Amino acid sequence: MTQTPTKIINLKPYKIIYTNHHTSTKYKEINAITNRLYLQTYRRPSNIIINLVQPLLWLILFGSLFQNAPISLFGNDNINMNIKYREFLNPGIIIFTAFNSAINSGLPIIFDREFGFLNRILTSPMINKKSLIYSCIIHTCLITNIQIIAIVLFNTYQINNIPTFNELATILTTSTLVITNISSLSICGAFILPGHIEFIALTTLFINLPTLFASTALAPLSFMPYWLQIIVCMNPLTYAVEIIRQSRIEEFISLNTQIINTIWLKVQLKDSIGILIMANIISFILVNKVIKYKYD
């Protein structure tokens, strides 16, 4: 007699086994691309030297230019009367260093596009194409934070004031928020702009210096006309500069400390942190949309 085959109704396994193969592969991809960027930096150390010398020149020249300015000029509701311009300038130079390095973080992607290496990366069996974003941001954060620590050491030698651990943590945390935000926008521009000439022209001529002057990095809000104060308060760099400045100037600082106090706007420390975090979220969403539209 022939037996009729039994019908198999359910083939679900009793136990589902999850592996971390994809997660470990993502980490390996990020590590490989990041090591490649570090190798490029090691072979071209002039970029680090130039990015470090430029803010030091600003610090020395501007600090010397206004070193005899009356102390009372920088005394208002937010700034201590005993501060000198050199101490007032230090937080602005730190954030300017973070901004200047982060705005150029998209250059490796631009050159990879022009030399055809980016197509090789994208056609390779990559699990997550966002590894390009994460690698560029990690590389920029580490290199720029080393430069910022060097500037802090130079400031310590210059004004004979050793920063506390809380001040140093505030500087590095705030700078990292700025770096991740600006790096994401720079990477987004690297995928959109046609070449490195347009990229350098846009970042150097139209973004770099206007963004610096449209902030409180070089002068307090009380020095500016009302129309410029509105533009300055729309600039996220202003809040990063004021967070570091208040941590350096004030002996006691809390989340409710006012860092911007004008007739039409009052911003506390917690509001500034929220603005920086929101700017990072928006920039991440934007660059993810661009990469998905361009290459997925």
pLDDT, one tens digit per residue, over 25-35 is 777 777 877 88
**Separation of alpha carbons 249 and 258, rounded Å:** 13
pLDDT of residue 3: 54
pLDDT of residue 77: 47
- pTM, 2 dp: 0.80
Provide the β-strand partners of residue 260.
267
- Reduced to 3 states (helix: H, G, I; strand: E, B; else coil), residue 268 is strand
Q: State the Cα angle at 163 between 161 and 164, rounded to 5°.
A: 135
Q: DSSP alpha helices (H): ranges in 78-213?
A: 85-103, 107-115, 117-123, 131-159, 165-192, 196-201, 209-213
Can you count the helices (H) and strands (E) in the chain? 12, 2
pLDDT of residue 73: 53
First to last CA, the chain: 58
pLDDT of residue 251: 63
Q: Cβ of 56: how many Cβ atoms within 10 Å?
A: 16
**Separation of alpha carbons 283 and 180, rounded Å:** 9
Q: What are the mean pLDDT values of the chain's consecutive 10-residue runs (296 residues total)?
A: 52 53 69 82 80 80 72 50 74 88 84 78 70 84 88 79 80 89 85 81 79 84 84 88 82 73 78 88 82 66
**Separation of alpha carbons 185 and 187, rounded Å:** 5
CA dihedral 70, 58, 220, 168 (to 10 degrees): -110
pLDDT of residue 166: 81
The domain segmentation of the chain, as residue ranges, is: 33-295
DSSP-assigned letter for residue 221: G
